[in-house]
Amino acid sequence: MSPLDAHPANRVALVTGGCSGIGKAIAERLAARGHSLVLVSERPDALEAVASEIRARHRVAVHTVAKDLARPEAAAELHAAVAGRGLAVDILVNNAGFFFFGETVDADPGRAAAMLQLHVVTPSLLCTLFGRDMRARGRGHILIVASISAWRDLPGINYYGSSKKYLRGFARALRCELAVHGVNVTCLAPGATATALYSATAVPVERARRLGVMMDADAVAEAGLAAMFAGQAEHIPGRLTRAMLAPQWAIDLLRRRGPWLRRDES
């Protein structure tokens, strides 16, 4: 049991994107450890359904905040909403995200801006606002869900990959700043994971999962929380995922020589 768990007042975990995929699996595990939850995502019905499930299974308090986190005001509004309920967040999981394929110059500007807002601006500001509270209390954990794509330059998913690179760098610097105040920051970098992230694409998620090319969200969540509670800086879950990280030259060659590669699925 970590020192954080041992502290009775130190129990509330906020998970963005907590009603689906990796976020939901993380929320389940935190509830199983006894943490109260604040789940945040866009769809109120889905949120409420997941919250009821978790309350019934783990007998913890589960608060929900339905919010589009791809809006400039989202972080400040969320911080105020949580404070308004008298909750002190000691575990912040920045997880909400979405995905699209396509060349950079073909991207829909609105969709691209929403991705930068959701993956870059909102999580950064949530770290500022909730991290400031944690620093004042001298304890806390921040888990930032980036992606293995942060390790490479990836043509075809440039907005996604570059936003995750930002998160990785942001997490590393924030970790140095907050460590001296007793607050841990961990960056979780999953590889391909079988979730609804790909629901708007042609990726055969279920087949990939059966073949072992995609991990289960549960395994990713388990590994991410273990890394966070152990105070690790970064973690890429799955030995196969780490082994499959192609060298940059191979990615560049494939892009130049692979005219069969799908250019746009949007």
Ligand X SMILES: NC(=O)c1ccc[n+]([C@@H]2O[C@H](COP(=O)([O-])OP(=O)(O)OC[C@H]3O[C@@H](n4cnc5c(N)ncnc54)[C@H](OP(=O)(O)O)[C@@H]3O)[C@@H](O)[C@H]2O)c1
Catalytic residue ranges: 160
Please give the Cα distance from 221 to 3 (Å, whole number): 20
- Closest separation in Å from C-beta 96 to ligand X: 4
What is the footprint of ligand X within residues 87-146 (CB under 6 A)? 95-98, 118, 145
Phi, psi of 115 (to 5 degrees): -65, -45
Please give the Cα distance from 107 to 181 (Å, whole number): 41
Strands 140-145 and 183-188, by their bridges, are parallel
Nearer to ligand X, 98 or 166 (CB): 98
Which residue in the set 10, 36, 147, 186 belongs to the binding site for ligand X (CB under 6 A)?
147
Number of Cβ atoms within 10 Å of the Cβ of 188: 28
Per DSSP, what are the bridge partners of residue 71? none
Which positions ≥6 away from 153 have C-beta within 8 Å? Answer: 161, 248, 251, 252
**Does residue 98 contact residue 115 with C-beta atoms inside 8 Å?**
yes
Nearer to ligand X, 166 or 181 (CB): 166
Number of residues that bind ligand X (CB under 6 A): 27
- Closest separation in Å from C-beta 137 to ligand X: 26
Please give the Cα distance from 128 to 87 (Å, whole number): 17
Nearer to ligand X, 186 or 195 (CB): 195
Is residue 41 a contact residue for ligand X (CB under 6 A)? Answer: yes
Nearer to ligand X, 4 or 70 (CB): 70
What is the footprint of ligand X within residues 176-205 (CB under 6 A)? 190, 192-193, 195-197
Q: Which residues bind ligand X (CB under 6 A)?
A: 17, 19-23, 41-43, 46, 68-70, 95-98, 118, 145, 147, 190, 192-193, 195-197, 217
